[in-house]
Amino acid sequence: MYRITPHLYDQIRHFAAFPQTGVSLQQMVQFGSTPSDGTLFKASQFLGDELPIRLAHRVKELEELPDRLNEMPSIQKVKLWYAQSFEELVTLPKPTLSADLRQLIAKAGNGNAIPEAKPNPSLIPDLRNGKYHNGRTSVPVSNRHDIPFPPEISAYNEKFTKTLSIIKRRHDAVVATIAQGILEYKKSRQRSQIDSSIQSFLDRFYMSRIGIRMLIGQHIALTTEPPRTDYVGIICTRTNIRQLCSEAIENARFICEDYYGLYESPRVQLVCDPDLSFMYVPGHLSHMTFEIMKNSLRAVVEKHGINASSFPLIKVVVAKGNEDITVKISDEGGGIPRSAMPLVWTYMYTTAHEQDLAADFDKSDFKAPMAGFGYGLPISRLYARYFGGDLILISMEGYGTDVYLHLNRLSSSSEPLA
């Protein structure tokens, strides 16, 4: 079994002492719009500094969790995944660069670089050979894409991307495994709810995971996928919101019909300008709208009963403001009692019948069929906040719920990292 050696612990502690560097959606797009071996190499240099810092923060945090939560077997398991990924990144041999090549790489880019990872790497000892190495300095970039890069650069890019793919796959089951760890903790401490310090840990931890996966996913897509119109990596510069909402609605309705054995699930009216598009990550938007729709459908079906002759319409309205695009989902599913309102944002709060988490445990990601783990809302809110938006829920008990999904149009806000 993989274990963390004392030397690796030293490295982790060292990296965890540096702050994380946030990147905005705009920076990701500007940097990745014309990828060449040079820009990809620069991106890998940034990620090679930044990802170990982010992973090290998480290992340290998992290590220091209070009330013996850190001792739960599933928490330990996740900690080892993070440590292993950290080690794979810091031990990946970098190509030796001649002075000329250094200059070529410095010039690669398209006018706007992703930021330098905040810690000045000159302070970081090269832990592989015991020396201190000098920091990179910010170099103005030009618009040159015609520079021939030697094969060792593309070979390194390929190797780096391969390492990222392995890491991404290793971390697929993190959400479910941490959830399992929380269950182990609740059982061992005989608690029914988690306290606010654990809630904030989970918010931080899952937010960090979204960021790490965003950076990794973006890099893999830029390196391995052929260019697609309107796409830069996994970011779509013209995400059509109507189309995306329609798909999420249909998918959620299908699952609802299947789950309750309905001939037809509640209908959904969508009011949205068909041409409204903006820069976003379609995967994130699909995830959020789908989760919110599932909740509304479930509430409506359960309030009115599966034998109801008809269900009240669920309304989805999309509004375009200067700063935000807001998606409002209104249902007549009976709402939520005021006393339960703070709970809906806590992980593992659900009014669905308990499911066997362990059964879903080894699946690649965390997907409940209709409801059941109490992760839908808190994780969706993290996705919204990741790019500077928010998710707000207003309930009228006895009638229904309005959910407001605010999506930031300015796309310049940096990742919220803690």
Ligand X SMILES: Nc1ncnc2c1ncn2[C@@H]1O[C@H](COP(=O)(O)OP(=O)(O)OP(=O)(O)O)[C@@H](O)[C@H]1O
φ/ψ of 113, rounded to 5, equals -90, 155
Is there binding between residue 266 and ligand X (CB under 6 A)?
A: no
Is position 294 annotated as part of the catalytic site? Answer: yes
Binding part of the chain for ligand X, among 19-27, 47-55, 152-160, 370-378 by CB under 6 A, reads 370-378
Q: How many CB atoms lie within 10 A of CB 6?
A: 6
Strand partners, 207: none
CB-based contacts of 31, cutoff 8 Å, min separation 6? 39, 43, 109, 110, 112, 113, 114
- Of 14, 60, 287, 328, catalytic: 287
Q: How many whole angstroms separate alpha carbon 270 and alpha carbon 330?
A: 11
- Of 61, 87, 291, 415, catalytic: 291
CB-based contacts of 167, cutoff 8 Å, min separation 6? 51, 85, 88, 89, 216
Residues near ligand X (CB under 6 A), total: 21
Is position 287 annotated as part of the catalytic site? Answer: yes
Over the Cα atoms of the chain, what is R_g? 23
Which CB atom, from 9 or from 259, has the smaller least distance to ligand X? 259
Binding part of the chain for ligand X, among 118-126, 212-220, 243-251, 349-357 by CB under 6 A, reads 349-357
CB-based contacts of 343, cutoff 8 Å, min separation 6? 193, 349
The contact mask relative to ligand X for 384-413 (x = CB under 6 A, - = no) is: -----------------x------------
Is position 251 annotated as part of the catalytic site? Answer: no
The contact mask relative to ligand X for 289-328 (x = CB under 6 A, - = no) is: --x---xx--x-----------------------------
Which CB atom, from 113 or from 368, has the smaller least distance to ligand X? 368
Choice from 160, 280, 373, 386 touching ligand X (CB under 6 A): 373
Is position 415 annotated as part of the catalytic site? Answer: no
Which CB atom, from 49 or from 331, has the smaller least distance to ligand X? 331
Q: How many whole angstroms separate alpha carbon 289 and alpha carbon 245?
A: 7
Which CB atom, from 50 or from 332, has the smaller least distance to ligand X? 332
Closest approach, Cβ 351 to ligand X, in A, equals: 3
Which CB atom, from 132 or from 254, has the smaller least distance to ligand X? 254
Closest approach, Cβ 108 to ligand X, in A, equals: 43
Binding part of the chain for ligand X, among 76-84, 175-183, 231-239, 343-351 by CB under 6 A, reads 343-351
Choice from 375, 383, 386, 404 touching ligand X (CB under 6 A): 375
Element (H, E) at 67: none
Is there binding between residue 351 and ligand X (CB under 6 A)?
A: yes
Q: How many CA atoms lie within 13 A of 344 on its CB side?
A: 21
- Helices 376-386 and 282-304: angle between axes, nearest 10 degrees: 150
Q: How many whole angstroms separate alpha carbon 12 and alpha carbon 127?
A: 11
Is there binding between residue 78 and ligand X (CB under 6 A)?
A: no
DSSP 8-state class, residue 387: T
Q: How many CB atoms lie within 10 A of CB 361?
A: 14
Which CB atom, from 340 or from 418, has the smaller least distance to ligand X? 340
Choice from 350, 404, 405, 408 touching ligand X (CB under 6 A): 350
Task: Output the residue with the shortest Cβ distance to ligand X.
Answer: 376
- Residue 245 near residue 281, CB atoms below 8 Å: no
Q: How many whole angstroms separate alpha carbon 175 and alpha carbon 171?
A: 9
Choice from 374, 389, 406, 411 touching ligand X (CB under 6 A): 374
Choice from 101, 164, 325, 377 touching ligand X (CB under 6 A): 377
- Residue 402 near residue 291, CB atoms below 8 Å: no
Q: How many whole angstroms separate alpha carbon 413 and alpha carbon 26?
A: 8
CB-based contacts of 197, cutoff 8 Å, min separation 6? 66
- Give the residue numbers annotated as catalytic, written as ranges: 287, 291, 294-295
Q: Which residues bind ligand X (CB under 6 A)?
A: 291, 295-296, 299, 331, 333, 336, 344, 349-352, 368, 371-377, 401
